Structure 1
Amino acid sequence: MKITGTSTNIYFDFENGHSITGTGEILTGDRFAVDTDSLKWDSPNKKVTAEDLAVIKAETESQITNSNHPVKIIFD
């Protein structure tokens, strides 16, 4: 999974043709707070389920733990 974004948007690209976009805000201390209610699949344009969110959280945590990721991602 590739994670990119701006100061107000985040993109989770699963690199298999599927991706999720959402909004949030950059916080002090190199943290980004994701508004989980804003997360949507790009195609089809539908809300992210609780199961989807659990997968995103696990993959994101794994990626941040196993790399030199400069920003901590917080889901709220």
Structure 2
Amino acid sequence: MSSDAQEDYNEMIQALSPMAQKAYDEIVQTLSPTEQLHLATMVLNRFVREILPAIEQRDYWTEQDQIDTANFSMQYAES
């Protein structure tokens, strides 16, 4: 892991709530990398199932979508 990535990781860990930090320290760190990956997959899959219904899905772009895209494109072109 690069030093920047390690610093980002350390900042993320420090920002955890005390309860999450305790769970991480006492449980997650004791798991093998494979078990940690499996746990992360389970957590993220649950998150996706809960949030996916809240995401608006449609087959067309609203006028605001088009404006936002044009503005972003123009900002990107300027840089």
User: With structure 2 as the length reference, what TM-score do the two structures score?
Assistant: 0.34
Pick the structure with more helix per residue: 2
Bigger fraction of residues in strand = 1
Higher RCO (CA-CA < 8 Å; seq separation 6+): 1
In the superposition, the TM-score normalised over structure 1's length comes to 0.36
